[in-house]
Amino acid sequence: MGTIAIAAAVILGISFMTFVAFFGRLPALRNTPISFLHRLIWIHLPNAVLAVDRTLTNGRLTTSLARLARHLWYDQHPTILIFFFLLLSVGEYLYLPVAWPHLSSVHKILGTLAIFCPYLFLYLSAFTDPGTVNPETHVREMARYPYDFTLFHPGTSCETCRFLKPARSKHCSICKKCVGRMDHHCIFINNCVGANNQRWFILLLLSTAILTLYGGVLGLGIIRQKIQARFPYWTLLPWWTSTQAWEDGSLDFHRWLVLWSWGLQSGVAMGSVTLLALLTTPLVWGLLGYHLWLVYCGTTTNESMKWQDWQAEMDEGGVYKRRIESGRVKDLKVEPAWTRWPVEAEQVMVRTDDGKPPRSSHRLPGEGEWEAVWRLKDVENLYDIGLWDNLVDVFLPYFMFKESKGRSPVDEREFGRERGRNRRRSS
Ligand SMILES: [Zn+2]
Ligand SMILES: [Zn+2]
């Protein structure tokens, strides 16, 4: 019983403190013990440390600690990447020597694959350029997507990088650069998840999800065999399978747990890794599901937050849309002449401060009457072109969805290489 209780207490404790540290400031938790604990962690404890340090070292220690914290929080560094790599490797080092002799040759082959894939996709996610926007790639990134006149408008520049922001790009304050179709900055890969490495990131999530589930289930099977070899009446879920021992009371919940713990303790290292794998499995599958859902919706983590902001504006009133003429003349100073995307913006959406339709309409893009918008589902998402094509866009980031009209000579030069590659791919 001891091992399970300690492991469960430690995991629960860490989860609770993480929750307090990140969510304790939420307005809903004001004046609760959680908000008090949050203040203790972020205000009272640091102040106490500061006071002690001022008397002991004249504040030198806290100054360097603050510098370290700033570096860890705001700069690119591989600490969490190394932690993730070690978690995988140490887990496998503890698990495999015990589990390997129990595995059939099929499981040995599948297991080797399951272990190898996360390393491969971790490497590819971390070291593939996510789609950096710089002077060399700017033309290419501008031609990736058209502006949708809803989330992304032509003519806005990045204040740091000093060039026009391509549609769907975002400046990452940690990598200190703009990234094409930015999803989010991921500390586990120490890199942004962007247009060029999102495929590797999704495969990393998929392979890790398979590894934790597969390893957890195999480990559980080995522990079960071990317990049943000694106590044949023990089963994994006796209340479901309603065994003889459960019904006549010779196996009750307490004894079931005691035998569980006996099974775990006869191979503590493998047992702990199995428990950890089973506990993290729902989290990893959940993350994978979330990212596949974003692909299905044709959006990114960054854009889904923008869509939420729009929903909040709509709830308050004062959001309007109108049509954009299909054959409009583009302002080539701020908009790319053509993109690889199969569709162009058909609507422009604006918010007004007084809740009334925009008055000086002639300076805004689009034509015709303004129509009030109250729900997100009444708005067109230009970047959702159906599940299959959304997947193609994620997995083949330079795929040309159509032969674009009106290609300018500059684009011909810049895109020669990529177009050649895509032609081969589609033939
Ligand atoms: Zn930037
Ligand atoms: Zn980043």
**pLDDT tens over the chain, length 427 residues:** 566 677 778 877 887 887 887 777 777 788 888 889 989 988 898 888 888 888 888 888 888 888 888 887 788 889 989 999 999 999 999 999 999 999 999 999 999 999 999 999 999 999 999 999 999 999 999 999 999 999 999 999 999 999 999 999 999 999 999 999 999 999 999 999 999 999 999 999 999 999 999 999 999 999 999 999 998 888 888 877 777 778 887 888 888 888 888 888 878 889 999 999 999 999 999 999 999 999 999 999 999 999 999 999 999 988 999 999 877 888 899 999 889 999 999 999 999 988 888 887 667 888 888 999 999 989 999 999 999 999 999 999 999 987 444 444 334 444 433 333 333 333 3
Residue 187: name the closest of 85, 67, 319, 41 by CA: 85
Q: Clarify whether 186 is annotated catalytic.
A: yes
- C-alpha triplet 403, 409, 410: angle, nearest 5°: 100
Residues 206, 331 share a domain? no
Largest distance between two CA atoms of the chain? 84
The two three-digit tokens of residue 135, written as one number: 């002077």
In the 8-state DSSP scheme, what is residue 236?
A: S
Question: Domain for residue 320, yes or no?
Answer: yes
Distance 413 CA to ligand 2 centre (A): 30
Question: Domain for residue 175, yes or no?
Answer: no
Q: What is the CA radius of gyration of the chain?
A: 28
Residues 45, 110 share a domain? no
Question: Domain for residue 350, yes or no?
Answer: yes
Distance 178 CA to ligand 1 centre (A): 4
The two three-digit tokens of residue 66, written as one number: 């603050």
- Residues with Cβ–ion distance below 5 A, ligand 2: 172, 174-175, 185, 192
- Residues with Cβ–ion distance below 5 A, ligand 1: 158, 160-161, 171, 178
Question: Domain for residue 165, yes or no?
Answer: yes
- C-alpha span between 76 and 189 (Å, rounded): 10
- C-alpha span between 310 and 153 (Å, rounded): 15
Residues 225, 212 share a domain? yes
423-to-73, 199, 341, 385, 414 alpha-carbon distances in Å: 43, 21, 16, 21, 16
Q: Which ligand has the minimum distance to the alpha carbon of residue 170?
A: 1
Q: Which ligand has the minimum distance to the alpha carbon of residue 129?
A: 2
Please say which residue of 267, 297, 327 terminates a domain. Answer: 297
Three-state DSSP at 369 gives strand
299, 381 in Cβ contact below 8 A? yes
Residues 292, 275 share a domain? yes
Residues 351, 235 share a domain? no
- C-alpha triplet 171, 295, 145: angle, nearest 5°: 50
Residue 241 is part of which domain span? 76-130+182-297
| Set 158, 186, 192, 297: catalytic member | 186
Instruction: Provide DSSP, 142-153.
Output: HTTS---SSS--
Distance 311 CA to ligand 2 centre (A): 26
Residues 368, 380 share a domain? yes
Distance 391 CA to ligand 1 centre (A): 26
Please say which residue of 243, 275, 297 terminates a domain. Answer: 297
Residues 115, 56 share a domain? no
The two three-digit tokens of residue 287, written as one number: 């993350």
Q: Which ligand has the minimum distance to the alpha carbon of residue 184?
A: 2
321, 294 in Cβ contact below 8 A? no
Distance 394 CA to ligand 2 centre (A): 18
Please say which residue of 34, 56, 74 terminates a domain. Answer: 74
Q: What is the pLDDT of residue 359?
A: 83
Residue owning tokens 């109250």: 374
269, 276 in Cβ contact below 8 A? no
Q: Which ligand has the minimum distance to the alpha carbon of residue 177?
A: 1
Residues 84, 216 share a domain? yes
Question: Domain for residue 28, yes or no?
Answer: yes
Question: Domain for residue 94, yes or no?
Answer: yes
Residues 198, 260 share a domain? yes
Residues 193, 54 share a domain? no
Question: Domain for residue 426, yes or no?
Answer: no
**Ordered alpha helix ranges (H), 138-252:** 138-142, 198-230, 238-241, 244-247
- C-alpha span between 396 and 388 (Å, rounded): 12
Q: Is residue 20 packed enough to be buried (19+ CB in 10 Å), middle (13-18) or exposed (0-12)? A: buried
- Number of domains the chain contains: 3
Residues 259, 323 share a domain? no
Question: Domain for residue 407, yes or no?
Answer: no
Residues 194, 111 share a domain? yes
Q: Alpha-carbon torsion 237, 242, 245, 249, what sign?
A: positive
Backbone angles phi, psi at 388, to 5 degrees: -60, -50
Distance 26 CA to ligand 2 centre (A): 26
Neighbours of 92 (CB within 10 A): 18
The two three-digit tokens of residue 319, written as one number: 């959001």
212, 200 in Cβ contact below 8 A? no
Q: What is the pLDDT of residue 426?
A: 34
Distance 175 CA to ligand 1 centre (A): 10
The two three-digit tokens of residue 247, written as one number: 């019904």
Backbone angles phi, psi at 15, to 5 degrees: -60, -45
- C-alpha span between 36 and 26 (Å, rounded): 12
